[in-house]
Amino acid sequence: MQSSPLQSRPRHPEPLQLYLASQSPRRLQLLEQLGLSPVVIIAEIDETPEPDEPPDAYVTRIAAAKAQAGWARLPEAPTGPLLAADTAVVIDGRPLGKPADAETALSMLALLSDRTHEVLTAVTVLAVGPEGARAPSQRQCLSRTAVRMRKIEPSEALSYWESGEPRDKAGAYAIQGLGAMFVESLHGSYSNVVGLPLYETAALLREQGIEVLRS
Ligand SMILES: Cc1cn([C@H]2C[C@H](O)[C@@H](COP(=O)(O)OP(=O)(O)OP(=O)(O)O)O2)c(=O)[nH]c1=O
Could you report the predicted ipTM of this complex, rounded to two decimals? 0.97
pTM: 0.93
Q: Please give the positions annotated as active site.
A: 86
Distance CA 170, CA 89 (A): 6
Q: Give the orientation angle of helix 25-33 with respect to helix 198-207, to 10 degrees.
A: 70
Distance CA 142, CA 98 (A): 19
Pocket flag, ligand 1, residue 119 (CB < 6 Å): yes
Position 164 scores a pLDDT of: 97
Which regions of the chain are under pLDDT 70? 1-13, 132, 214-215
Residues 6+ away with beta carbon under 8 Å from 23: 40, 42
Could you tell me which residues are beta bridge partners of residue 125? Answer: 83, 139
Whether 109 and 172 have beta carbons less than 8 Å apart is answered as: yes
Position 2 scores a pLDDT of: 59
Measured in angstroms, how far is the CA atom of residue 125 from the centroid of ligand 1?
Answer: 17
Position 121 scores a pLDDT of: 98
The 10s digit of each residue's pLDDT in 142-159 is 999 999 999 999 999 999
Residues 6+ away with beta carbon under 8 Å from 150: 113, 114, 182, 183, 184
Whether 104 and 98 have beta carbons less than 8 Å apart is answered as: no
Position 12 scores a pLDDT of: 58
Position 75 scores a pLDDT of: 76
Pocket probe mutation, ligand 1, options 44, 87, 120, 145, max atoms within 8 Å of Cβ = 87
Distance CA 62, CA 60 (A): 6
Measured in angstroms, how far is the CA atom of residue 167 from the centroid of ligand 1?
Answer: 10
